[in-house]
């Protein structure tokens, strides 16, 4: 068995604070083009400049901020793979490629030919099954998912810096690389996966590094960003990591985890007692203010003593009472997450994806790209049609967060949102 230490030392390990540089440059600008009419525009310098100028006016966030000082037309090249002409522009001392949204990064294919297969990856359909259903080989689909993971999760998902979620959820998903246990430090806000970084262990130092990727990407989008609250399961190293990264953040312990701990230990053996305690437990949760919440927890503890409730039930409740400050602090922050429901739902999907992928068999760097690619697909791929109706036609979590989409095709919307890989872009124009 190869240890994680050997994996790290024997491969190009992706240092968390150098994620952007390891993921390649950000000199590719993706703009919404239609296949019909594209050749006429790209071969005509006047039409092309007018098209780019119009997009700078409408979508400045897709371009480098320096483009406000002007740009020059550069050269035109033809992709050997797809035989598609691509133009470049000069902004300051840097050359940027203008890629149409109907073409995949690295010219690996067309968006309409890969969209359905990548949608299946939302549900963890194995690569060999994609190959069987949509052609190509398994590694083709694997590499495409990894190429999506090279983009900033935060910068791609959140269009407007002011829309960064103020109330977050964070937890670690247990997984394996070459059979060795490891963790995915996951950050969620507004039903979107905003952080998913591999941590070699669940210690404070490793988690600081892993959650630090979310911080770096957040500050790249909004240099003044600081979350107000983060809901965690109470793991000490997780709380310390978040306090180190964001000194002002309020740590809220998940009320649901206390219930789950009781339920998993007692539901079968003490069925009647469990149901009675569960009813009283959720009555505590529904308290309207801190004083009422504290009082109900105290009375629940007294009821457990009076009725000689087993220690497997009374113990977690007593621990809750002793650490009640970590739970009732949520009342000070309207909108804060008192339970981990939001992140649990997404981590359940991550668990299914990991199972169908059969976990990871390469380097930490490869695992990082894979989980980040899946996270962006999860953010942008369409939800259940019934959910879409509920949210006024916004078809994905990213659309609902931004109340906006660049393109009706979810994959092209993702590719445009990932212009310049989501790093160092200009401010968006108000809607």
Please give the distance of CA 364 from its chain centroid, rounded to a whole number. Answer: 18
Residues 359, 405: Cα–Cα separation, whole Å: 32
Q: What value does the mean pLDDT of the chain take?
A: 89
Please give the distance of CA 91 from its chain centroid, rounded to a whole number. Answer: 30
pLDDT (tens digit, 9 = 90+) per residue, 274-320?
A: 888 889 999 999 999 999 999 999 999 999 898 888 888 888 898 88
Give the global pTM: 0.89
Residue owning tokens 């962006």: 376
pLDDT (tens digit, 9 = 90+) per residue, 369-393?
A: 999 999 999 999 999 888 777 778 8
Indicate the angle between helix axes 364-380 and 410-417, nearest 10 degrees.
120
pLDDT (tens digit, 9 = 90+) per residue, 115-162?
A: 999 999 999 999 999 999 999 999 999 999 999 999 999 999 999 999
Residue 49 predicted with pLDDT over 90 = yes
The two tokens of residue 389 are 């109706």
Cβ 208 vs Cβ 244: under 8 Å:
yes
User: What's the pLDDT band for 164 if we cut at 50, 70, 90?
Assistant: very high
pLDDT more than 90, % of the chain: 72
pLDDT (tens digit, 9 = 90+) per residue, 331-369?
A: 999 999 999 999 999 999 999 999 988 889 889 999 999
pLDDT (tens digit, 9 = 90+) per residue, 200-240?
A: 999 999 999 999 999 999 999 999 999 999 999 888 999 99
Residue owning tokens 């911080």: 215
Residue owning tokens 């210690």: 203
Residue 102 predicted with pLDDT over 80 = yes
Cβ 36 vs Cβ 163: under 8 Å:
no
pLDDT, residue 267, reads 66
pLDDT (tens digit, 9 = 90+) per residue, 230-274?
A: 999 888 999 999 999 999 999 999 988 888 888 887 767 777 788
DSSP β-ladder status, 72-78 and 85-91: antiparallel
Q: Which residues contact 85 (CB under 8 A, 6 or more apart)?
A: 39, 42, 43, 76, 77, 78, 79
pLDDT more than 70, % of the chain: 94
Residue 364 has what DSSP assignment? H
Residues 65, 420: Cα–Cα separation, whole Å: 11
**Which DSSP string corresponds to 176-214?**
EETTEEEEEEEEEETTEEEEEEEESSSSHHHHHHHHHHH
Residue 421 has what DSSP assignment? G
Residues 23, 259: Cα–Cα separation, whole Å: 41
What are residue 416's DSSP bridge partners? none
Task: Give, in order, the Cα–Cα distances in Å from 134 to each of 120, 128, 141, 411.
Answer: 11, 10, 10, 16
């Amino acid at each position: 068995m190869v240890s994680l230490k050997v994996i790290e030392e024997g491969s190009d390990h992706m240092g968390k604070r150098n994620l952007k540089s390891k993921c390649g440059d950000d000199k590719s600008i993706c703009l919404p083009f239609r296949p019909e009419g594209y050749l006429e525009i790209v071969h005509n310098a006047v039409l092309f400049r007018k098209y780019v100028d119009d997009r700078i006016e409408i979508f400045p966030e897709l371009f480098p901020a320096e483009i406000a000082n002007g740009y020059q037309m550069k050269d035109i090249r033809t992709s050997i793979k797809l035989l598609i002409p691509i133009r470049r522009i000069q902004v300051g001392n840097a050359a940027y490629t203008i890629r149409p949204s109907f073409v995949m990064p690295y010219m690996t294919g067309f968006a309409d030919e890969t969209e359905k297969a990548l949608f299946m990856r939302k549900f963890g359909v194995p690569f060999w099954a994609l190959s069987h259903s949509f052609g190509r080989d398994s590694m083709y689909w694997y590499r495409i998912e990894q190429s999506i993971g090279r983009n900033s999760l935060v910068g791609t998902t959140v269009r407007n810096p002011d829309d960064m979620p103020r109330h977050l959820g964070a937890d670690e998903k247990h997984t394996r690389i070459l059979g060795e246990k490891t963790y995915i430090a996951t950050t969620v806000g507004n039903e979107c996966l905003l952080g998913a970084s591999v941590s070699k262990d669940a210690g404070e130092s490793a988690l600081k590094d892993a959650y630090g990727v979310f911080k770096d990407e957040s500050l790249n989008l909004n240099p003044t960003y600081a979350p107000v609250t983060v809901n965690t399961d109470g793991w000490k190293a997780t709380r310390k990591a978040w306090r180190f990264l964001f000194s002002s953040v309020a740590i809220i312990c998940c009320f649901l985890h206390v219930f789950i701990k009781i339920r998993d230990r007692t539901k079968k053996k003490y069925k009647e007692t469990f149901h009675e305690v569960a009813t009283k437990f959720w009555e505590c949760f529904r308290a309207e203010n801190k004083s009422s919440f504290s009082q109900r927890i105290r009375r629940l503890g007294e009821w457990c003593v009076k009725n000689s409730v087993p220690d497997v039930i009374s113990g977690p409740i007593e621990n809750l009472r002793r650490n009640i400050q970590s739970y009732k602090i949520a009342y000070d922050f309207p909108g804060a997450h008192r339970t981990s429901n939001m992140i649990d739902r997404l981590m359940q999907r991550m668990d299914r994806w990991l199972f169908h992928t059969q976990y990871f068999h390469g380097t930490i760097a490869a695992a990082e790209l894979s989980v980040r690619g899946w996270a962006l697909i999860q953010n942008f791929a369409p939800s259940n049609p019934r959910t879409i109706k509920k949210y006024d036609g916004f078809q994905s979590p990213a659309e609902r967060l931004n109340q906006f989409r660049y393109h009706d095709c979810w994959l092209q919307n993702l590719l445009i949102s990932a212009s310049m890989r989501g790093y160092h872009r200009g401010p968006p124009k108000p809607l």
